[in-house]
Amino acid sequence: MSFFGQKVLPAIRKIEDVEKMMTSNYEYMVILDLHVSRLKPIFQMAQANHKKLIIHMDLVHGLKSDEYSTEYICQEYKPFGLISTKGSVILKARQKGVKSIQRLFLLDTSSIEKSFALIERTQPDYIEVLPGIMPKIIKDIRNRTKREVFAGGLIDTIEEVEQAYEAGAVTITTSNKELWKYYHPEKKHTEI
């Protein structure tokens, strides 16, 4: 299983990489660290190239990551999905019909248990686990929540991607361009 045929979701930090990815076979991508003034041209490029964007709301510079900016992004740009650590952002994205990805930083047993409580409250479409180099935790999160899991953070090698995938992750979010190249889809996929 994969995320719409993509083992890897490119997590893009630079506008020049956004431009390059528009001609790739990747249909879905995550946009990180972008300034609010760049949203309009990026979404215009994505629409012209039939790309589906997932915006990391906590990393949009110039906007507060809250339910009001989430409503604005959902209404104005209609992204495929939004990633956030904040429950209010996830709840608003779901209300607006945008795929929600609850990002979890798992540091210890206490943070894992608090994350389960957050997931129960927000009911996200997907969960992103960081760091993603913990196959045992990926499997546990997937089994306990019955939700599809993205693995992200500190994944640098093909072996780490495969371990996360074997543990039950549906995709790996990464800014590692070598992994983008290695897992580049052979053909474009359409949403099911």
Each residue's pLDDT tens digit, 148-191: 999 999 999 999 999 999 999 999 999 999 999 999 998 654 44
pLDDT score at 190: 47
How many structural domains compose the chain? 1
pLDDT score at 191: 44
Beta strands per DSSP E along the chain: 8-12, 28-31, 34-35, 52-56, 60-61, 81-84, 99-105, 126-130, 148-152, 169-174
pLDDT score at 157: 97
- Closest to 184 (Cα-Cα) out of 55, 21, 50: 21
Q: How far apart are CA 9 and CA 184, in angstroms?
A: 10
Inside any domain, residue 191: no
pLDDT score at 22: 97
User: Would you say 57 and 88 are in contact if contact means Cβ atoms under 8 Å apart?
Assistant: no
Q: How far apart are CA 55 and CA 114, in angstroms?
A: 24
Inside any domain, residue 187: no
The CATH number of the domain holding residue 106 is 3.20.20.70
pLDDT score at 186: 86
pLDDT score at 188: 55
pTM of the model: 0.94
DSSP secondary structure code for residue 97 in this structure: T
Inside any domain, residue 109: yes
Using CA atoms, how far residue 190 sits from 4, 26, 94, 102, in Å, is: 7, 10, 22, 24
Where the chain has pLDDT below 70, the residues are: 1, 187-192
DSSP secondary structure code for residue 80 in this structure: S
Q: Is the dihedral of CA 27, 28, 34, 39 positive or negative?
A: positive
What is the domain range of residue 68?
A: 8-182
